[in-house]
A and B are shown apart, each in its own frame.
Chain A
Amino acid sequence: MPPGEPFIRPAWIVDNLDVIWQRLTEHVGMTLTAVVIGFAISFAAALLIRRRRTLTAVVLGFTGILYAIPSLALFAFLIPFTGISFLSAEIALVSYTLLILIRNILLGLESVPPEVVEAATGMGYTPRQLLWRVELPIALPIIVAGLRIATVTTVGLVTVTALIGQGGLGYLIVVTGVRGFFPTAIWVGAVLSIALAVLADVALLGVQRWLTPWSRARGSAA
């Protein structure tokens, strides 16, 4: 950093609000894309595992290995195949959400008391009705808990995608900040990504409370 350069230059922030806003929206977009696709895949995988129990070890083992690969390494693995691209970034980001989401969806569905399933079946619920009207609402707090962890983790990982040519808040930290010797950009990028992670966490908790009013009455925390 140049000697005498302050941590924050408020004038730069004011002059570059449009750039900062662009990086922020890119960051939100990349996070949402990864979590939504990750959730869709995880939901399908969890339902498949429930039909074929023997798949549990294979799916959780495979997603566990993906989860253990350091982020920059996973991005780098993909470059020879899908290039320095948005696709490479998203494949890696989606991979990281799978273990947490599949595990929590399964845990949530397993948390449904057998008596409740029994009662619903006795009342003539079809398997599909049972899933959507009984099992998923009961499993929701645990599923949302998984979504919260996956989202907060993804917000952090999206910053790393700047190293493989993507935008987002990591661009402010790495390219504008570290490589441009400009502390203000580092602070803006870091503070905004922390704020985004906390905001997403609180918002998802709010969604869960709103969707499961009965758990609020009992004061249960997920």
Chain B
Amino acid sequence: MTLIDELATWLSDPAHWTGPDGMVPRLLEHLAFSGGSLFLAVAIALPIGLAIGHTGRGALATISISNIGRAIPTLGLLGIVLTITANWWPPYGFFLIPTVTALVALAIPPIVTNTYAGLRAVDPEAIEAGRGMGMRELQLLWQIEVPLALPSILTGLRVSAVQVVATATLAAVLGAGGLGRLIIDGIAQHDDAQLFMGAVLVGLLAIATELTFAWLQRRAVSPGLRARSRAGGDIG
């Protein structure tokens, strides 16, 4: 049987769409894991990036931490957190906590470094002008620095989101849900159609995430900055 025949047979079974192990529940699990982790990562990383970007302190530590992060393989991080949390809160310590911890840890560095880089690149004269108008520190941050740094901040968010969606696939190794399950189960059951559909869905989701955040970036950035926003590349 060729792959196309196998795919046709596999896809014609409704259980593979909406059944408990079907593509729809797996996709929803994947989105829940990724969305929750990204939300947590933003809640942690954005204040840090804004603080070091505004004050200019702690830059070296930030860059060092994100460089170390690059060397830690996600699978290793998942495993290490698993050994620590496995017996904390059964059964969640076995898949939920390691997955979310690894995804959050992965998502933080791009957001912090891009937020920091965006704030540092703001024209000091704009900040000086704000100060001359009597703005307080927080007003300077929200009304001048953040709007001007928004393209860079959103680039960080986009890089993190794509990485989180991609890496959430590995959660299946711990027996958690998500689209990675289709791949891992497909390999275990020698079911080429299942693992192929898993790979297709993960790939499409990664591309969709990239496009969604690129669209968000175009929508959210001030029109006056749009011409310049193309120039800023990825840092993470």
> Footprint of B on A, CB under 8 Å?
1, 3, 7, 68-74, 76-77, 79-80, 84, 152-153, 155-157, 159-160, 162-165, 170, 173-174, 177-178, 183, 186-187, 189-191, 193-194, 197-198, 201
Contact = CB atoms under 8 A, between A and B. Distances in A.
Interface string B54-93: 0000000000000000111111110110111011000000
Contacts of A77: 196, 199-200, 203
Given A1-B82, A163-B173, A183-B83, A189 B187 contact: no
30 contacts: A1-B82, A1-B86, A70-B165, A72-B199, A73-B183, A73-B199, A73-B203, A76-B186, A76-B198, A77-B203, A79-B192, A80-B192, A80-B195, A80-B196, A156-B74, A159-B76, A160-B170, A162-B75, A163-B184, A163-B187, A174-B79, A177-B79, A178-B174, A183-B83, A187-B80, A190-B72, A190-B76, A190-B79, A191-B76, A198-B71
Contact of B169 (A68, A70, A79, A190): A70
B211 to A, nearest CB: 11
B163 to A, nearest CB: 9
Given A177-B79, A178-B79, A79 B73 contact: no
Nearest to B179: A73
Given A72-B183, A73-B203, A76-B195, 16 more contacts: A3-B87, A69-B203, A71-B166, A73-B202, A76-B187, A77-B199, A80-B196, A156-B71, A186-B79, A190-B76, A190-B79, A190-B80, A194-B71, A194-B72, A194-B76, A198-B71
B228 to A, nearest CB: 22
A198 B72 CA distance: 10
A1 B166 CA distance: 26
B206 interface: yes
B206 A70 contact: yes
Contact of A190 (B77, B167, B192, B198): B77
B231 interface: no
Q: What are the nearest 3 A-B pairs in CB distance?
A: A190-B76, A70-B166, A156-B73
B138 interface: no
Interface of B: 3, 70-77, 79-80, 82-84, 86-87, 162, 165-167, 169-170, 173-174, 180, 183-184, 186-187, 192, 195-196, 198-200, 202-203, 206-207, 210
A173 B79 contact: yes
A79 B72 CA distance: 26
Contacts of B202: 70, 72-73
